[in-house]
Structure formats: structure tokens, C-alpha cells
Amino acid sequence: MCTACACGTQDSASAQVEITEGRAYTVSGMTCGHCVSSVSTEIGGVGGVTGVQVDLATGLVTVSGAGFSDEEIRAAVDRAGYALADTSPVSVS
């Protein structure tokens, strides 16, 4: 059973995702939860992306997965209506 919240989801080893690559980007213009949702949805649709975490306060977007390019992430952010403020993404572990 999930102990992080009251959702009732069963913990399962098969549900764990191995992060093979992580990149962090700074996105400008996000001001609310809807902004976060839009950016997360667009980036999440990029092939190879397995996870997206957004920090609204800092604009930091961490993307995990494998086989995606910075250009694909930039295009996804553009489709969501925002822009990458940091053009040199950093690798994260």
C-alpha cells in the first residue's frame, strides 16, 4: 500500500522506473498549476520521456527517460506556450 498518500495504490517493484537519463531545464513564464500541467503534459508526450517534475517557484523542469533530445524538449515547451530560459540543459543523476 502506498505510504506517501492515501490513494490506496499497491506498491509494486514492476511499477518502479529506472532513470537512465535525466536532464534539467529552466522554463520561463509559468505562474500557476495549470502552467505546470501544460508543460508536464507536452514534455511527457515526447518519445522516451518517462517522468517530468516541475518546480513552479524556480521554473526548473527535470525530465527523466532515455532517447529524447534537447530540441524535442524545446519544441514541447514551445507547444505548451512557454520558452526555455536556459539554453544549456544540465545532466542530473
We report the CATH number of the domain holding residue 87 as 3.30.70.100
Q: Which residues contact 11 (CB under 8 A, 6 or more apart)?
A: 1, 2, 3
Q: Does 74 reside within a domain?
A: yes
Nearest partner of 44 among 31, 54, 58, judged by Cα: 54
Residue 66 lies in a domain: yes
For residue 56, tell me if it sits in a domain. Answer: yes
> Using one digit for the tens of pLDDT, what is the confidence trace for 28-53?
999 999 999 999 999 999 999 999 99
- Note whether residue 63 is domain-resident: yes
Query: Is 8 within the bounds of a domain?
Result: no
Residues 13-22, mean pLDDT to the nearest whole number: 54
Could you list the residue range(s) of the whole structural domain that residue 23 is in?
Answer: 15-91
The three three-digit cell numbers of residue 10, written as one number: 499497491
Type of residue at 27: V
Asked whether residue 31 is domain-assigned, the answer is yes
**In the chain, what percentage of residues exceed pLDDT 70?**
70
With 80 as the cut, is the pLDDT of residue 25 above it? Answer: yes
Indicate the pairing of strand 60-65 with strand 90-91: unpaired
- The answer to whether residue 24 is domain-embedded is yes
What is the reported pTM? 0.73
Q: Tell me how far apart the alpha carbons of residues 34 and 53 are, in angstroms, rounded to a whole number.
A: 14
Higher local confidence (pLDDT), 74 or 86: 74
Helix (H, G, I), strand (E, B) or coil at 13: helix
Domain assignment of residue 2, yes or no: no
Structurally, the chain folds into a number of domains equal to 1
Confidence of residue 85 (pLDDT cuts 50, 70, 90): confident
